[in-house]
Amino acid sequence: MIVISAAIVIASYLLGAIPFGLLVARWQRGIDIRKYGSGSTGATNVLRTLGWRASAIVFASDLAKTIVPVLVARLLTGSAWVESLCAVAAIAGHCWPVYSNWSGGRGVTSSLGGLIVLQPILAVACLAVTAIVVSVSRFVSLGSLAGVAFGTVVMAILVATGSVPTGYVVMVLGSPLIVFIRHRENILRLLAGTERKIGQTSEGARPQTQT
């Protein structure tokens, strides 16, 4: 069982590392999305650079590449620990993909994918929190961070009270840590008042000094 669990976790990283944002951008416009906007391969940067259709494809793909390995882990092992490890591995793969020089997305959509399997009602609630914050502030990054923070607090309470399996603590600790690390530049821009609001497009390649 240990060998099977380890293999599933490694496979989760490799699946999560598939850079769908990079692939869709090259397919639709022949560009390297990492040279545009924030440099992220995630759905938000794709939205600003290529529009909502391309972003929707990337969003759905990034969701699926976390949902699938967590479901496989549940089917093959039945272990909450392995499920959580697979979710975090897929999120890490999305953020630091081996296939594209360790340059990926911010991990929010991948985190949502894992939460959809582990706690679907909470996933919907996190989406609602994100939508509300984005609609009020017009900052996708702030809404994303608010949704992740909300989900983390609720999941921590559920684990602490024994309402969900203890193994979910891996997701509680791993997912927000990765997401907030990957959003460190967004957080600095939010504090400095230079973060782009929703609707602002990325017209050209980003300067080499921009992060």
For 164-198, how does the pLDDT look when each residue is reduced to its tens digit (9 = 90+)? 999 999 999 999 999 999 999 999 999 999 988 87
How many other CB atoms are found less than 10 A from the CB of residue 185? 16
The domain in which residue 99 lies consists of 2-192
167 is a domain residue:
yes
For 112-122, how does the pLDDT look when each residue is reduced to its tens digit (9 = 90+)? 999 999 999 99
pLDDT of residue 48: 87
Dihedral pair phi/psi, residue 11, rounded to 5°:
-65, -35
- Rounded to an integer, what distance in angstroms lies between the CA atom of residue 170 and that of residue 120? 17
Question: Could you tell me if 147 and 126 are in contact, meaning their C-beta atoms sit under 8 angstroms apart?
Answer: yes
pLDDT of residue 15: 97
- Rounded to an integer, what distance in angstroms lies between the CA atom of residue 170 and that of residue 13? 15
122 is a domain residue:
yes
* Nearest 10 degrees: Cα torsion 120, 125, 135, 109: -30
**Confidence class for position 37, pLDDT limits 50, 70, 90:** confident
pLDDT of residue 199: 62
pLDDT of residue 184: 95
- CA geometry: angle 24, 28, 29, nearest 5 deg: 115
81 is a domain residue:
yes
89 is a domain residue:
yes
200 is a domain residue:
no
Q: Which residue has the tokens 């609001």?
A: 197
pLDDT of residue 9: 97
144 is a domain residue:
yes
Q: How many domains does the chain have?
A: 1
- pLDDT, average across residues 74-78: 95
197 is a domain residue:
no
- pLDDT, average across residues 149-153: 97
For 92-123, give one letter per residue: b (16+ CB within 10 A) or e: bbbbbbeebeebbbbbbbbbbbbbbbbbeebb
Q: Which residues pair with 36 in a beta bridge?
A: 205
Nearest residue to 143 (alpha-carbon basis) of 124, 129, 122 = 129
Q: Which residue has the tokens 């390995």?
A: 69
208 is a domain residue:
no
Q: Considering the chain, what is the average pLDDT of its residues?
A: 92
Query: 196: alpha, beta or left, given left = phi > 0 and alpha = psi -120 to 50?
Result: beta
The structure's pTM equals 0.90
